[in-house]
Structure 1
Amino acid sequence: MIRVKDIITRINSSSISRRMGQGLVWSFTGTALAKFLTLLVGIICAHILQKEAYGEFSMVRSTINMFIVLGSAGLGVTSTKYIAEYREKQADKIPAVYAATNYFGLLMAIITAILILLGAPFIANNILHHPSIVLPVRVGAVLLFFSIINGVQNGALMGFENFKAIAINTLLGSVLESVLTIFGAYYFGVNGAILGFGMGFILIFVTNHLSINKNFSAIHIKKLSIKKLHLKDFSILYTYSLPAALSALLITPSFWLIRSILVRAEGFQELAVFEAADQWKVIILFVPTAFSQIVLPILSSLHKEKTSFVSTLKYNMLIVGVTALLLSVGVMLFGGFIMRLYGATYDNSVPVQILAISTIFSALANVLEMAVYSLGKMWQCFAINIVWALLMVGCSYYLCMRGEGANGLSMAVLISYVVSFLMFLVYTIIVVRKEVK
């Protein structure tokens, strides 16, 4: 039986507590404010754009976010894993890791942006069945370039455990994004809101670039040009980035697909209800996600120290589970009030209550997944995510076609995360016993 006191004592007896504490403080101070601004902007835009237009804005934003993950192709977690692993004793390997992921990320950003620019009419007409959003999708495609690069940059900063820079840069970008999104929505409608939404990515790109340069200087290493890279330097792209990318191809597009299923079955108004509820799922997950971000770089540096590895993992599971439970209960109790913040027509509190429950299992599954990532078991993660995605999409289709609307979509999310958590729990127990020395 796990004794909470023993776990905490082990953590506090090493430098791990300091590293986790610093990471958590900065994740809260900077990123928490950024999330709050995102929530506030969502509420304001729901009133400015009205229900139909807000649904369009949400769908386009979801589409952009999907291609961000596709374009970054798992490069962020690759940088995090290997920079964290090499930082203390093999720093000379870091320039090759960063160069390989950064240059490949640049290529993916260009390709993805061009594909969306050219494919915007097909996405709007044939997939979403709303020709009016062709222009917003194209605007998003232009901004997509910077957001994909941001994913790679954040991965590198996490590998350096520079959570302070991530928090500050994210906050600065969110402030600019919030102001311009509201301004754009008020004066130019959906197109203006999308343009404002993307401006924050550009600022984050610049500030992240400066932060990474400081990290390289601090450990006395220099960046490599693409001419100095060898073929073997790109090997991590197919041994680690590829399965991570395939997992990404399942996760974010799956959320986009279930939204599309809801739109085709019930329309944008029902999607607006789900989006409002989903924003609170994101808010609940903020604290657990802050812990999860810290888990990957720290566990990657501890994969040869079994006692510290297991203690750190158990500690994070405990904190994440309790935090998610408390926050979800709060949202469930005030579900009706929360939904009415978006307007009088948002009178269905069931989706926000169901999604609140799902966050408990989602948060715990995410910690376990990061533990498996730190051990390099990427293909196994991909297999688990296949089951998760198929289950969520299948349940969404079944429930939406039965007329369950946003309620059914939320239930599908809950079911899939319960199963995902159980699969990751069983596999993590098995792999830690075998792999961690």
Structure 2
Amino acid sequence: MNIKSVYKKIVGSGSQEKIIKGVFWSFLGTLISKGFAFIALFLVARILSVQEYGKLGLLQSYINTFTLFSLASFGVTATKYLAIYNNEDKKKASEIFSLTRIFVFILSSFILILSYFFNDAICEYIVGDPNLKSEVLICGAAIYFSSLNGLQVGALAGLQNFKSISIVNIVNGVLSLPLIIISAYHYGIKGVVVSLAIINFSIWACSAILLKKELLKNQLFFTVKNLRKHFDTLYHFSLPSFLSSIMLAPVVLICNSFLIKYNTAGYYELGIYNAAFNFSQVGTILIGIIGQVFYPMAMQNFGKNNRKFDFFNINNSYIIGILIFLPIVSLPDLFAGFYGIKYENNNMYYSVMFVGLSSIVIAQRQGIARNFAAGNFMWFSVFSNLIWAATTILSCYLLISKGSIGRSLAFFIGYITNTILFIPFYINKKLIDKKLLLSKEHLLLIFCILISNLIFTLIDNLFFRIIITIVFLVLCLMIFKNWFKSYIKNG
């Protein structure tokens, strides 16, 4: 048996081969990118004071918020329509991508100009520190290149070229680790912000080169003709997708601003929260890998009653989320200890716990979110996220005196409330099979998560908690396996 036949036997063919190869390249790139970035931010937290780390977190949320404004979900639009039309109608695929490219360039340039003219106002009302004017200006450049890169990576995902995306992510990770650490050590917050601008420029240039090659390979081209007829596509998909996704980053920014304005130890508490939130980003490494591969496939398979695909599309992120975050929920003191003694306190422990719980809920919703896009229910998604945003902001305002704990608890309240309220809608619109949401196996998983949440509060001995956590992880895997068999057999 030769190497090629062994490869085919292991990997398979068709959609199975696409998934495995896509996951491999996405895993490699995302592991290096997110992993190195997490290590860098972890070390930065040890280099800077807690208050300085809070300010850096606020600047990062500013970059993330206005990157979303500039990108306006056109990256997701490029992913969806290139996945659908690349093989069926190359002219239409080229026109829609060209339209998204023009809009992102205009929006990114507009945001860059506004950030320059309204620098003083941004420092005072958003960042909350007039002494960060130069840092905010540098953030404008980071936003500009981050937005352009987001569109290009979205297009590569739509063309299912995960190898190129992996290369972009590897460049990101290789640059992030040394640049951010060295700049933080020698130049503090300003050094980190300059590093972010340099990194975003570098990955934009890398993705531009790779995308150009991929477009030529697929015989896709840039054009300014016949674009008006696709405005309807932007209205029905891009606009609601933008309004839906844009709520997250501004809510983060608003809640961070609440913390620094209405809590006497605002920057300190925000530093604690940002350190806790970094653990959530670890989970996005694997969840993002799977999601990136499944997104274009969800566009192609929605409504086709492919039960195996439906099961894994809905639950792959969920089980990964449980495996990653259940230990964080039950062992928050163990994970907080990685940051050093200045983070070893109850504020950090309970913030880590609530961040972990929120991350599990977010992971559970990933497959449903893909089906929102695939089924063209984006305006309903806007309404759903609007309810989440209002609930989260109100909860944060009411809990602001609790500092980082209140900040993290507010997000958990927002996510769990929104999920419960919209269960009837998910089922009615067939965004998720009722058997995948209200099954006994799912209820058992929820029970395991709730019990894990009590372990830290009720048991002091760390060794006992580690043993119990391992038992629960094994139990969750067994439940997931039986759930899959039952769903396929009784479908």
Q: What CA distance in whole angstroms lies between the structure 1 residues aligned with 2:70 and 2:366?
A: 21
Q: What CA distance in whole angstroms lies between the structure 2 residues aligned with 1:391 and 1:366?
A: 20
SS in 2 for 1:236: helix
Q: Is the 8 A contact 1:177 1:199 kept in 2?
A: no
Residue 22 of structure 1 and its aligned partner are, at CA, apart by 1.8
| Residue of structure 2 equivalent to 1:408 | 406
Q: Is 1:264 equivalent to 2:261 in the alignment?
A: yes
Which runs of structure 2 are paired with 1:165-184 in the superposition (5 Å)? 165-184=164-183
Which runs of structure 2 are paired with 1:294-309 in the superposition (5 Å)? 294-303=293-302, 306-308=304-306
TM-score by length of 1: 0.90
Residue 262 of structure 1 and its aligned partner are, at CA, apart by 1.4
Residue 289 of structure 1 and its aligned partner are, at CA, apart by 2.5
Residue 131 of structure 1 and its aligned partner are, at CA, apart by 1.0
Query: What is the number of equivalent residue pairs in this alignment?
Result: 417
Query: Deviation per CA, 1:366-420, whole angstroms, max 9, x where unpaired?
Result: 22011110121110111111011111111111111xx211111111111112233
| Residue of structure 1 equivalent to 2:393 | 393
Q: What CA distance in whole angstroms lies between the structure 1 residues aligned with 2:21 and 2:300?
A: 16
SS in 2 for 1:307: coil
Query: Deviation per CA, 1:87-139, whole angstroms, max 9, x where unpaired?
Result: 23222321111100011100011001111122221121134431111211111
| Residue of structure 1 equivalent to 2:251 | 254
Q: What CA distance in whole angstroms lies between the structure 2 residues aligned with 1:135 and 1:84?
A: 41
Residue 299 of structure 1 and its aligned partner are, at CA, apart by 1.4
| Residue of structure 2 equivalent to 1:35 | 34
Residue 177 of structure 1 and its aligned partner are, at CA, apart by 2.6
| Residue of structure 2 equivalent to 1:330 | 327
Q: What CA distance in whole angstroms lies between the structure 2 residues aligned with 1:20 and 1:39?
A: 26
Q: Is 1:136 equivalent to 2:130 in the alignment?
A: no
The residue type equivalent to 2:353 in the other structure is: Q
| Residue of structure 2 equivalent to 1:121 | 120
Q: Is the 8 A contact 1:246 1:382 kept in 2?
A: yes
| Residue of structure 1 equivalent to 2:338 | 341
| Residue of structure 2 equivalent to 1:6 | none
| Residue of structure 2 equivalent to 1:9 | none
Query: Deviation per CA, 1:239-269, whole angstroms, max 9, x where unpaired?
Result: 2111111113311111111111112233111
SS in 2 for 1:161: coil
Residue 316 of structure 1 and its aligned partner are, at CA, apart by 2.6
Q: Which moved more, 1:26-35 or 1:412-421?
A: 412-421
The residue type equivalent to 2:389 in the other structure is: A
Q: Which moved more, 1:88-97 or 1:140-149?
A: 88-97
Residue 158 of structure 1 and its aligned partner are, at CA, apart by 1.0
The residue type equivalent to 1:394 in the other structure is: L
| Residue of structure 1 equivalent to 2:454 | none
Q: Is 1:320 equivalent to 2:321 in the alignment?
A: no
Q: What CA distance in whole angstroms lies between the structure 2 residues aligned with 1:115 and 1:106?
A: 14
Residue 161 of structure 1 and its aligned partner are, at CA, apart by 1.1
| Residue of structure 2 equivalent to 1:374 | 374
Q: Is the 8 A contact 1:102 1:152 kept in 2?
A: yes
Q: Which moved more, 1:152-161 or 1:19-28?
A: 19-28
The residue type equivalent to 1:86 in the other structure is: Y
Residue 141 of structure 1 and its aligned partner are, at CA, apart by 0.5
Residue 172 of structure 1 and its aligned partner are, at CA, apart by 0.5
| Residue of structure 1 equivalent to 2:83 | 84
Q: What CA distance in whole angstroms lies between the structure 1 residues aligned with 2:60 and 2:337?
A: 23
Residue 433 of structure 1 and its aligned partner are, at CA, apart by 7.8
Q: Which has the larger radius of gyration?
A: 2
Q: What CA distance in whole angstroms lies between the structure 1 residues aligned with 2:416 and 2:16?
A: 30
Q: Is the 8 A contact 1:371 1:428 kept in 2?
A: no
The residue type equivalent to 2:270 in the other structure is: L
- 1:190–1:259 Cα change, 3 Å: same
SS in 1 for 2:301: coil
Q: What CA distance in whole angstroms lies between the structure 2 residues aligned with 1:230 and 1:240?
A: 16
Q: What CA distance in whole angstroms lies between the structure 2 residues aligned with 1:198 and 1:313?
A: 40
Q: Is the 8 A contact 2:215 2:221 kept in 1?
A: yes
SS in 1 for 2:429: helix
- 1:154–1:424 Cα change, 3 Å: farther
Q: Is the 8 A contact 1:372 1:428 kept in 2?
A: no
Q: Which moved more, 1:24-33 or 1:103-112?
A: 24-33
Residue 425 of structure 1 and its aligned partner are, at CA, apart by 4.5
SS in 2 for 1:225: coil
The residue type equivalent to 1:131 in the other structure is: P
Q: Is the 8 A contact 1:56 1:133 kept in 2?
A: no
Q: Is the 8 A contact 2:172 2:199 kept in 1?
A: yes
Q: Work out the percentage of aligned pairs sharing the same amino acid.
A: 25
- 1:174–1:198 Cα change, 3 Å: farther
SS in 2 for 1:137: helix
| Residue of structure 1 equivalent to 2:280 | 281
Q: What CA distance in whole angstroms lies between the structure 1 residues aligned with 2:337 and 2:174?
A: 25
Q: What CA distance in whole angstroms lies between the structure 1 residues aligned with 2:148 and 2:425?
A: 32
SS in 2 for 1:349: helix
SS in 1 for 2:341: coil
SS in 2 for 1:224: coil
- 1:425–1:368 Cα change, 3 Å: farther
Q: Is the 8 A contact 2:392 2:413 kept in 1?
A: yes
Residue 85 of structure 1 and its aligned partner are, at CA, apart by 0.8
Q: What CA distance in whole angstroms lies between the structure 1 residues aligned with 2:59 and 2:222?
A: 37
| Residue of structure 1 equivalent to 2:149 | 150
Q: Is 1:64 equivalent to 2:63 in the alignment?
A: yes
Query: Deviation per CA, 1:342-365, whole angstroms, max 9, x where unpaired?
Result: 231212311111111111110111
- 1:291–1:429 Cα change, 3 Å: farther
Structure 2: where are the runs of 5+ without partners? 1-10, 433-491
| Residue of structure 2 equivalent to 1:236 | 233
| Residue of structure 1 equivalent to 2:464 | none
- 1:433–1:98 Cα change, 3 Å: closer
Q: Is the 8 A contact 2:59 2:127 kept in 1?
A: no
Residue 173 of structure 1 and its aligned partner are, at CA, apart by 1.8
TM-score by length of 2: 0.81
Which runs of structure 2 are paired with 1:98-117 in the superposition (5 Å)? 98-117=97-116
Q: Is the 8 A contact 2:32 2:174 kept in 1?
A: no
Query: Deviation per CA, 1:188-216, whole angstroms, max 9, x where unpaired?
Result: 22111101022111111112112212222
Among 415, 435, 439, the alignment partner of 1:417 is: 415
SS in 2 for 1:306: coil
